[in-house]
């Protein structure tokens, strides 16, 4: 059974929590395999990025991980500190934007649904607004958002996605 929770910041290896090392591991594997067709980030996550950007912003951002059999298989972060990840277009994010990743060998819709459900609950508890973008071609995510009760607004020229080599057409979902 998939368990969704906030990341455990203990169990450090070279100053990086095990949960975040597992996110880094599955994400980098998926990126190398070309599994993430609709994610604008195209560079690998590094331990230095986690230590210098992720950890210092953990109180500002909202983060959840999905775990199965004691291994992290998915994560979502709502970025209120838009400069807390290191990829080409990170600073073009707007505060409140959610990034979501799932291990490439796992059911994306199932894991995403659980992580985003918890994210939405936490946003409501903290009385914060957020939004989620998905490439217009990513049917699985669009269906998952419909399952959660959200209808997206089509944006035809979303610059951050276009700069990353994607179509630039995204659906935006306002969450709270």
Going by pLDDT thresholds of 50, 70 and 90, the confidence category of residue 81 is very high
With tokens 């195209």, the residue in question is 42
The tens digit of pLDDT for each residue in 123-166 reads: 999 999 999 999 999 988 999 999 999 999 999 999 888 888 88
Q: Decide if 141 is inside a domain.
A: no
The tens digit of pLDDT for each residue in 16-67 reads: 999 999 999 999 999 999 999 998 898 999 999 999 999 999 999 999 999 9
Going by pLDDT thresholds of 50, 70 and 90, the confidence category of residue 108 is confident
Q: Decide if 107 is inside a domain.
A: yes
Q: What is the pTM of this model?
A: 0.93
Domain that holds residue 96: 3-127
Q: Decide if 88 is inside a domain.
A: yes
Q: Decide if 171 is inside a domain.
A: no
Q: Decide if 137 is inside a domain.
A: no
Instruction: Give residue 114's pLDDT.
Output: 95
Across the chain, the runs of DSSP E, i.e. the strands, are 3-5, 12-13, 16-17, 62-68, 71-79, 97-102, 130-135, 153-155, 170-175
Q: Decide if 24 is inside a domain.
A: yes
Number of domains observed in the structure of the chain: 1
Helix locations, the chain, DSSP H:
18-33, 47-49, 108-125, 139-147, 159-163
Give the domain CATH number at 23: 3.40.630.30
Going by pLDDT thresholds of 50, 70 and 90, the confidence category of residue 109 is confident
């Amino acid at each position: 059974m998939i368990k969704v929770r906030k990341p455990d910041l203990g169990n450090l290896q070279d100053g990086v929590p095990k949960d975040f090392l597992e996110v880094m591991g599955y994400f980098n594997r998926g990126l190398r395999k070309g599994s993430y067709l609709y994610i604008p980030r195209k560079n690998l996550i590094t331990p230095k990025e986690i230590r210098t950007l992720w950890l210092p912003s953990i109180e500002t951002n909202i983060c959840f991980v999905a775990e199965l059999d004691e291994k992290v298989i998915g994560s979502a972060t709502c970025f209120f500190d838009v400069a807390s990840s290191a990829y080409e277009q990170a600073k073009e994010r707007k505060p409140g934007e959610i990034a979501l990743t799932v291990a490439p060998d796992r059911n994306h819709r199932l894991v995403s649904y659980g992580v985003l459900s918890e994210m939405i609950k936490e946003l409501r508890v903290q009385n914060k607004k957020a939004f989620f973008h998905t490439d217009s071609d990513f049917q699985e995510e669009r269906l998952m958002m419909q399952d959660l009760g959200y209808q997206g607004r089509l944006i035809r020229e979303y610059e951050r996605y276009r700069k990353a080599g994607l179509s630039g057409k995204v659906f935006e979902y306002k969450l709270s």
